[in-house]
Chain A
């Protein structure tokens, strides 16, 4: 099956108009010795077979009844209208809105996304998305280098291991030095030679840091160095102090409103203080007005920052972003509204706290976090293999073994509890934990 609409007769007519005899003649420029005979691929399938084939493949993945796994990808309830709206074909079949006059729908939606994220984070400006939080954090480190001209960034322990590796890859490319330090060494490590300090809060282990105090340290020790905060699950902002109120210079986060989908697509939020607006990578949508009229409308703007104009002097090469996911994130946030967002955050805090307290009562389990936590926390287990196996037996997606990222931490797990975990799920999980301790 293919999607070419011409019949043979039409092709013949068109070839005649072009002035060649057959389709092969169109490829006269390609040296004959390079042309291939055929591809070693099976013949195409009709749609009915495609669905069958892909359904079978998808069923080789197990879908659990419920989950206590997060670690950078979270199960939240997503209102049905989110998928309905991103399935509007004029949204999802459009390109980057270069022709503003016939793209006001996408442009206004992105402007609303930029506004909604800026409102929730209390940051001044938000761009039209990065690929994910990891690459957004890497680009934020690059921004710090561009702003300060200094070639070193500090990463505070507790950043998601995959984000750290991504930052290291990007920084290696630009010859920016990276150093991972414990938080308590920050005071001694900051000098005017440091471009930025990267911290995640809530961090990979669940700890909520006192970002405001960290900002004070960074900004009092150096008038150049930027503080960059990363976040994996921004639903916490329904109750948590926003980065804009903690003197954070650049904020990055994973988006919301998408199903896990094996890790993507989601999006990377990037928000900055106003003074760094022109040093941001990525697309930005701005409000303007008609040249010959009085109506207001939206366009892609501040494009002189970008690769198609600045070429080798551009801060980043990013062009395609995660536009459709911006709409998903926006519609998710609007659907919940301020009331729903507060409620979701509160439920995550309360339910995770409930599990945390219950586990701490079971002999053999030890909560390792010493700081407040949101919907994730780490626990030392008496018998981790038994716990994980029992979870799977009960059709529960088990928490993360920390040894997945930290091979030495063999008896620790990272548990995630969100609003989707019902009281019954939670009771069952605690029961499993009890059994696994015996």
Chain B
């Protein structure tokens, strides 16, 4: 199972890619494997303002539901609408086409608590 080194992670199984003041969020390869075949992703709305730690999205398989928690306080700037039709992309490409949402970082220090790949793997 892959855990790309250029990404940050949360212990709640999200990966985070920080580019400038925008963070892209998805779920780790481990998380998608645990959930099984993803059947639906409930996306937030662009423009929603969320606090760090709030549930931004839900990822459903036919036997379980996983919550996707936002790593940053801020406004949702984009969601992966493609998942509405093809939720299975989260299984096939969790770190690529299976990204879930982008959030505008309002407080960069919130990145301090994020894990690196090795740190995340140690939690599994």
Pair from one complex = yes
Q: List residues of chain A with CB under 8 Å of any chain B CB.
A: 278, 301-304, 309-310, 313
B40 touching A278 by the CB < 8 A rule? Answer: yes
What's the Cα separation between A309 and B40 when bound, in Å? 14
Name the B residues within 8 Å of A304 (CB-CB): 39-40, 60-65
What's the Cα separation between A301 and B40 when bound, in Å? 12
Selected A-B contacts with CB under 8 Å, 17 pairs: A278-B40, A278-B42, A301-B62, A302-B40, A303-B62, A303-B63, A304-B40, A304-B60, A304-B61, A304-B62, A304-B63, A304-B64, A304-B65, A309-B64, A309-B65, A310-B65, A313-B65
Q: How far is the CB of A115 from chain B (nearest CB, A)?
A: 22
- Total A-B pairs, Cβ < 8 A: 19
What's the Cα separation between A205 and B42 when bound, in Å? 41
Q: How far is the CB of A369 from chain B (nearest CB, A)?
A: 43
B interface residues, how many (CB within 8 angstroms) = 9
**CB nearest to A279 among chain B residues:** B42
What's the Cα separation between A302 and B62 when bound, in Å? 7
**CB nearest to A310 among chain B residues:** B65
What's the Cα separation between A303 and B61 when bound, in Å? 9
**CB nearest to B58 among chain A residues:** A304
- Interface code B50-65, partner A: CB below 8 Å = 1, 0 otherwise? 0000000000111111
From 28 to 81 in chain B, residues with beta carbon under 8 angstroms from any chain A beta carbon are: 39-40, 42, 60-65
Greatest chain A CB density within 10 A among B40, B42, B64, B65 is at B65
- Ranked 10 nearest A-B pairs via Cβ: A304-B60, A304-B65, A310-B65, A309-B65, A309-B64, A303-B62, A309-B63, A278-B40, A304-B62, A304-B40
Q: How far is the CB of B43 from chain A (nearest CB, A)?
A: 12
What's the Cα separation between A303 and B63 when bound, in Å? 7
**CB nearest to A301 among chain B residues:** B62
Name the B residues within 8 Å of A278 (CB-CB): 40, 42
Q: How far is the CB of A279 from chain B (nearest CB, A)?
A: 10
Name the A residues within 8 Å of B61 (CB-CB): 304
Q: How far is the CB of B87 from chain A (nearest CB, A)?
A: 11
Name the B residues within 8 Å of A309 (CB-CB): 63-65
Name the A residues within 8 Å of B42 (CB-CB): 278
What's the Cα separation between A303 and B62 when bound, in Å? 7
Q: How far is the CB of B70 from chain A (nearest CB, A)?
A: 16
What's the Cα separation between A258 and B60 when bound, in Å? 37
Q: How far is the CB of B77 from chain A (nearest CB, A)?
A: 21
What's the Cα separation between A40 and B63 when bound, in Å? 46
What's the Cα separation between A304 and B59 when bound, in Å? 10
**CB nearest to A300 among chain B residues:** B62
Name the A residues within 8 Å of B60 (CB-CB): 304
What's the Cα separation between A301 and B61 when bound, in Å? 11
Name the B residues within 8 Å of A301 (CB-CB): 62
Name the A residues within 8 Å of B65 (CB-CB): 304, 309-310, 313
Greatest chain B CB density within 10 A among A302, A304, A310 is at A304
